[in-house]
Amino acid sequence: MKEIFGMGTSAADHDVDTDSTRTGNSDTDLLVKAVSGDSVDRDGGAHQPRSIAIRLSTVVVASVIAALVAGICTLAVLYTGVKGDLADRDSRTADAGRAQEVATDYAVGASTIDYRDTKTWFDELKANTTPQLAAKFDATSPQLEQILLPLQWTSKAAPITAVVISEANGVYKVNVFLNVTSTSVQTPDGVQTTVTYSLTVDRNADWKITDVGGLDGALPVK
């Protein structure tokens, strides 16, 4: 009866079970490949890992740009340093020129004398000097006047040049050279001499003159 009604296991049933087992194994393999990170196609086949391709020309261009940027930065730093150095040099030159100008103006004024107007000369002696130095000239003005009046002294000065001898912390030592033409009762036709002033100019004191040397060279010998 079993053979008639097919109660035994047939070849067809065996094939179905085998196909089912094969299908289950394929699904497991597919899952494993997906988990492992391999590229999987719809048929269950694994591909090689993906890679990114960069053109050589892109690398070269990037390198050139980086080099240009570095070069520009270097030039900017050098330019800033040079600009600062030039600014410092220009500032020092301007300050030295100012000291020479202040000293020259003073020397010319101090060497311009007229015995008929000694007050103006005394004012020139004290012009742009510190209070301490001005006080010294106030104290000596009577003696100076006693020298000028009897001789009827007059003099005029023309600058030759001025030289900064030294500078320290804004204090300038300046030599000023003048041509001085003077007249007196002894030399009515006039005499020309070269006079050298040694002046100290202090930038920190608003360019005031703190010391005067050489003034006696512009005055008559009594």
22-41 per-position pLDDT tens digit: 444 444 444 444 444 444 44
Is the pTM for the entire model greater than 0.75? no
Rounded Cα distance between 48 and 33, Å, is 12
- Give me the mean pLDDT over the 195-206 stretch: 97
Instruction: Kindly report the number of other CB atoms within 10 A of residue 166's CB atom.
Output: 9
Rounded Cα distance between 198 and 175, Å, is 5
CB contact set of 208 (below 8 Å; sequence gap of 6+): 128, 129, 130, 201, 202
Summary mean pLDDT of the chain: 80
Domains of the chain with bracketed CATH: 15-51 (no CATH), 96-218 (3.10.450.230)
- Give me the mean pLDDT over the 56-72 stretch: 79
